[in-house]
């Protein structure tokens, strides 16, 4: 199948729709209602009725916008909505196609964009909901549900580790807790970090943001502050958490960069906070941490918007460009070698790099939601 063109914002969703789109189109309310009411309806009559309803849906579709920008934005919005309405069986099938590694202890998937790991208010579907279905698809109907070993934010893509046994999951969780798992993330940033490589070692605390939209955000809680032109030690907050992030710029232009991030600690939204408030380089598509005082679409320069083919009014549809690129698990159980797990970034990420004139390491030039590799060291 030919790769999607990078000439449109639709590339942000087409990479995922290549794999999920045909499956999503099969799952809709009419399908559920027909399947429930069909009873003894023959397969042929059911198929005919489904085809008729599908054709009727096509005729009821809204006219396609003439503006290329509007058309690309509409595709992205439609994909995000479909992801929450898809049937659990369809989602489990899609996740099984994106498996990076599988053995008797672990299953490693490439987590798609926009899919939460856990349930919560307003969440219709999450990864934890489909783990029993995914296990049955891989090991038969008698298989026990898979177990989560760690979590990723809803908007973050990339390497996610699952375990067959609860005991193994606890062992992997302990490896994460004791910082024995090497993690590397890729992020496209607005602005370029200075210096191009270094360590951000600033504690993080959750704070309430006052204003028209009262809300909570993670914020920096530095140990030092400026006073009369001098650096003085600040009073430490007992609720602040130590947070350390190592970073390196892999490619940059005057206005953006591809940055590799290695979180030494694992505090909520650590990478986003350190980049935005510590280095003044928010992640592209981070509409929460690009501005401290309010929740609003990320403000982008005219040059960046032009390269992306967008107007500022549509910037709210830009997805978060943060990807869990690599995990290195130490030896565990009967496996005596460490496991190097790598997931290529999704196509929208790769095409944004191309549009922004950023270069990606040569071995990862072709982004793919299903692509990945594993190496035993």
Question: Given this model, what pLDDT does residue 18 score?
Answer: 46
Percent of the chain residues past pLDDT 70, beyond the cut: 77
Q: How far apart are CA 233 and CA 107, in angstroms?
A: 47
- At 149, is the pLDDT very low, low, confident or very high (cuts 50, 70, 90)? very high
pLDDT at 295 > cutoff 60: yes
Please confirm whether the linkage preceding 150 is cis (ω < 30° from 0): no
153 part of the active site: yes
Instruction: Encode pLDDT of 30-42 as tens digits.
Output: 444 444 444 455 7
CA dihedral 203, 208, 214, 216 (to 10 degrees): 50
Instruction: Encode pLDDT of 16-25 as tens digits.
Output: 444 444 444 4
Question: Given this model, what pLDDT does residue 50 score?
Answer: 77
Question: Given this model, what pLDDT does residue 373 score?
Answer: 55
Question: Given this model, what pLDDT does residue 28 score?
Answer: 43
Q: How far apart are CA 270 and CA 66, in angstroms?
A: 41
- Residue ranges matching CATH 3.30.2350.10 in the chain: 73-178
Per DSSP bridges, beta strands 157-163 and 322-329 are parallel
- At 75, is the pLDDT very low, low, confident or very high (cuts 50, 70, 90)? low
Question: Given this model, what pLDDT does residue 16 score?
Answer: 44
What does the block give as tokens for 110?
């490439």
CA dihedral 49, 53, 55, 60 (to 10 degrees): 160
Q: Which CATH architecture has domain 73-178?
A: 2-Layer Sandwich (3.30)
Mean of per-residue pLDDT scores for the chain: 82
Instruction: Encode pLDDT of 296-352 as tens digits.
Output: 899 999 999 999 999 998 898 899 999 999 999 999 877 889 999 999 999 999 999
Cα dihedral across residues 296, 301, 305, 307: positive or negative: negative
Which of 129, 153, 201, 291 is the catalytic position? 153
Percent of the chain residues past pLDDT 90, beyond the cut: 54
- At 125, is the pLDDT very low, low, confident or very high (cuts 50, 70, 90)? confident
Q: What's this model's pTM, rounded to 2 decimal places?
A: 0.76
Instruction: Encode pLDDT of 184-239 as tens digits.
Output: 999 999 999 999 999 999 999 999 888 777 788 999 999 877 777 778 777 778 88
What number is the average pLDDT over the span 349-363? Answer: 90
pLDDT at 292 > cutoff 70: yes
Question: Given this model, what pLDDT does residue 51 score?
Answer: 75
């Amino acid at each position: 199948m030919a790769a999607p063109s990078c000439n449109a914002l639709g590339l942000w969703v087409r990479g995922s729709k290549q794999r999920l789109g045909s499956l999503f189109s099969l799952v809709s309310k009419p399908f559920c209602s027909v399947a429930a009411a069909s009873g003894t309806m023959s397969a042929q009559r059911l198929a005919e009725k489904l085809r008729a309803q599908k054709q009727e849906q096509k005729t009821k579709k809204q006219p396609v916008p003439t503006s290329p920008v509007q058309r690309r934005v509409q595709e992205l919005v439609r994909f995000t909505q479909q992801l929450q309405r898809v049937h659990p069986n369809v989602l489990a099938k899609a996740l099984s196609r994106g498996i990076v590694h599988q053995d008797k202890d672990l299953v490693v998937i490439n987590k798609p964009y926009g899919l939460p790991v856990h349930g919560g208010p307003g969440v219709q579907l999450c990864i934890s909901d489909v783990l029993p279905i995914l296990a049955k698809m891989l090991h038969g109907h008698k298989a026990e549900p898979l177990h989560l070993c760690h979590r990723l934010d809803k908007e973050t893509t990339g390497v996610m580790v699952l375990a067959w046994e609860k005991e193994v999951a606890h062992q992997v969780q302990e490896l994460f807790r004791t910082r024995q798992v090497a993690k590397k993330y890729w992020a496209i940033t607005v602005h370029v970090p200075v210096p191009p490589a270094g360590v951000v070692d600033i504690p993080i605390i959750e704070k309430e943001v006052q204003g028209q939209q009262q809300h909570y955000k993670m914020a920096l809680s530095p140990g030092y502050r400026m006073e009369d032109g001098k650096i003085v030690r600040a009073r430490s907050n007992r609720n602040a958490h130590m947070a350390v992030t190592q970073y390196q710029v892999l490619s940059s232009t005057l206005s953006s960069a591809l940055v590799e991030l290695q979180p030494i600690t694992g505090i909520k939204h650590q990478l986003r906070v350190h980049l935005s408030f510590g280095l003044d380089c928010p992640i592209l598509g981070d509409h929460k941490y690009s501005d401290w005082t309010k929740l609003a679409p990320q403000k982008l320069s005219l040059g960046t918007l032009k390269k992306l083919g967008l107007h500022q009014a549509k910037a709210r549809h830009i997805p978060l460009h943060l990807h869990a690129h690599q995990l290195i698990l130490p030896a565990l159980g009967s496996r005596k070698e460490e496991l190097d797990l790598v997931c290529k970034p999704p196509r929208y990420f790769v095409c944004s790099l191309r549009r922004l004139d950023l270069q990606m390491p040569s071995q990862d030039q072709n982004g793919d939601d299903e692509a990945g590799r594993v190496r035993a060291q």
